[in-house]
A and B are shown apart, each in its own frame.
Chain A
Amino acid sequence: MMEKMIFGRYIPADSIVHRMDPRAKLIFVFAFIAIIFLADNAWAYGIAAIYTLASIWMSGITVRFLISGLKPVMILIAFTFILQIFFAREGRVVLDLGFLTIYEEGIRQAFMISTRFLLLVFMTSLLTLTTTPISITDGLESLLNPLKKIKFPAHELALMMSIALRFIPTLMDETDKIMKAQMARGSDMSSGPLKDRIKAVVPLMIPLFVNAFKRAEDLATAMEVRGYRGGEGRTKYRLLNWHIRDTMALFTLIILAGILSWMRFWL
């Protein structure tokens, strides 16, 4: 189950999308989220869907892989679809079963909202699937850099994110170890009433927290010894390179925004 989940995972490959600058990808995704809300009819959604499918195709990831990996999200989308059908009460009645009536507007809304949701999930997954977490962090730091002028801690935020990412597997291992140690001492975490099970988590969390603080202290010492004194005067090992393809990608997005707003406001 967890292995098939692709939400937030990185799939190494060498496509044009993988090679894009993380800054471009971040801007791209956030802009896309805004642009998709311009679409207000089936044609506009069709164009946005074609655009999304083209982006997925360029990344070398198959739509089938995306859908099977995003199964829990798909269920959520299906659920919204059903809710929309039943609860919108506008337009012509399409079906009247007495205890529930389905209106034309309901079907329209259901299709549009679930398409919008689907396209957003596809695009954001595309970002995480084609970009390593560290690149996303680097990209974010670089994009947030101008905010340093208003004292926004861009470097600290990025460093915190990368350290958090680096320690996830370490802390997972540790949780596993503590859990086994507590089980060996007779603690039962998987059966009994909910209250007991919640209580059983306490002897798991406390050692985990104590160790995490100890690790943090050690790490701070190690960082200080290696000359870390804040973001001031630091150079970067990983350089971000903005290529023509990044400009092109954003350019196609502007065209999409143009088409969608034309369809919305002038047609």
Chain B
Amino acid sequence: MSREVISLDSITFHYPGSEQQVLKNVSFSVREGEWVAIVGHNGSGKSTLAKLMNGLYFPKAGSIHIAGKKLEKDTVWETRKHIGMVFQNPDNQFVGTTVQDDVAFGLENHGVPHEDMVRRVHSALRQVKMDDFLNQEPHHLSGGQKQRVAMASVLALQPDIIILDEATSMLDPTGRQEVISLVRALKQEQEMTVLSITHDLEEAAKADRLIVMNQGEVYRTGTPEEIFELGDELVSLGLDLPFPIKMGNALKAQGVPVQGQHLTEEELVNELWTSHFKK
């Protein structure tokens, strides 16, 4: 079994100046090379988790270990080198005036020598297929393209873990698809550990494992199949089921013999058009 790169041990947290507990006794871990999705409705505490993992805030109780090191005020800059984050708003994380300046920003901060920097900027942009846009300014790019540049800025820093904090929620369907397939490709090619925080269950369905958050607590953990088995229980937590699952359930309700859960439309269609022969 591969090693744990992120582990949270009974984390409790409330924001300064607020009494309300945002996180209550949250524990989980992520193994190297895994794609874990944290899902939950607004206010379930899932975005706060991302802020804690990056040392933007520190937990009131409990401990966080990133790549084997405890996250504390003294080690926070060291820890940040292991984690790359992509945030929700494509515009508000674009620091440079052009695509290449933006990717270079993180490298400049880490004091990477010039020649090395140029090489890494170009290779990172090639990986996200944005290498034709080197001198483009952000307002000429689509949301999906900007998020791909944000991914490139993360990749250029060569982190072990990528955290996507609602990274696709402000994108149109095409942009969302672009970003998700990029994450999947990166995970396969580079065995990157991915932690995606989302309320989009279609995105979450692509993960290896799901963590469902509710009211600041871990509600359930499991593979996407196991979690979607919950059906209406998820709906009552304020989450929407992916379309193929809903469709499958509706067909079952109509008496069509659909076996098990189907996470993608393709799986469902395959089941349906072969179902006649299986009888």
Query: Is A170's CB under 8 angstroms from B77's CB?
Result: no
Once A134-B101, A225-B80 are accepted as A-B contacts, the answer to whether A166 and B92 lie under 8 Å apart by CB is no
* B29 in contact (CB, < 8 A): no
Question: In the complex, what residues of B have CB within 8 A of residue A226's CB?
Answer: 95, 105-106, 109, 153, 157
User: Cα distance A233–B138 when bound, in Å?
Assistant: 27
Question: In the complex, what residues of B have CB within 8 A of residue A225's CB?
Answer: 54, 56, 80, 83-85
A215-242 CB mask vs B (1 if < 8 Å, else 0) is 1001101111111110001111111000
A147-167 CB mask vs B (1 if < 8 Å, else 0) is 000000000000000110110
Main secondary structure of the interface of A (DSSP, over half): helix
Most buried by B among A173, A234, A239: A234
6 contacts between A and B (CB under 8 A): A169-B139, A222-B92, A223-B105, A226-B106, A227-B106, A235-B107
User: Cα distance A256–B114 when bound, in Å?
Assistant: 38
Question: In the complex, what residues of A have CB within 8 A of residue B54's CB?
Answer: 225
* B184 in contact (CB, < 8 A): no
**Which residue in chain B gives the minimum CB-CB distance to A233?**
B111
Query: Is B94's CB under 8 angstroms from A166's CB?
Result: yes
User: Cα distance A219–B110 when bound, in Å?
Assistant: 18
B171-193 CB mask vs A (1 if < 8 Å, else 0) is 00000000000000000000000
Query: Is A234's CB under 8 angstroms from B108's CB?
Result: yes
**Which residue in chain B gives the minimum CB-CB distance to A214?**
B92
Query: Is A237's CB under 8 angstroms from B157's CB?
Result: no
User: Cα distance A214–B91 when bound, in Å?
Assistant: 12
Partner pick for A235 among B98, B114, B153, CB 8 A cutoff: B114
Question: In the complex, what residues of B have CB within 8 A of residue A236's CB?
Answer: 108, 114
Once A227-B110, A227-B157 are accepted as A-B contacts, the answer to whether A162 and B87 lie under 8 Å apart by CB is no
Query: Is B92's CB under 8 angstroms from A218's CB?
Result: yes
* B127 in contact (CB, < 8 A): no
* B128 in contact (CB, < 8 A): no
Question: In the complex, what residues of B have CB within 8 A of residue A170's CB?
Answer: 91, 138-139
Question: In the complex, what residues of A have CB within 8 A of residue B255's CB?
Answer: none
Query: Is B80's CB under 8 angstroms from A227's CB?
Result: yes
User: Cα distance A166–B106 when bound, in Å?
Assistant: 17
**Which residue in chain B gives the minimum CB-CB distance to A168?**
B139
* B38 in contact (CB, < 8 A): no
B150 → chain A closest CB, angstroms: 8
* A133 in contact (CB, < 8 A): yes
Question: In the complex, what residues of B have CB within 8 A of residue A222's CB?
Answer: 85, 87, 92-93, 95
Query: Is B95's CB under 8 angstroms from A169's CB?
Result: no
A248 → chain B closest CB, angstroms: 26
A122-151 CB mask vs B (1 if < 8 Å, else 0) is 000000000001100000000000000000
User: Cα distance A34–B259 when bound, in Å?
Assistant: 84
Query: Is B98's CB under 8 angstroms from A134's CB?
Result: yes
Query: Is B101's CB under 8 angstroms from A235's CB?
Result: no
B200 → chain A closest CB, angstroms: 20
A233-258 CB mask vs B (1 if < 8 Å, else 0) is 11111110000000000000000000
Query: Is A234's CB under 8 angstroms from B111's CB?
Result: yes
A51-81 CB mask vs B (1 if < 8 Å, else 0) is 0000000000000000000000000000000
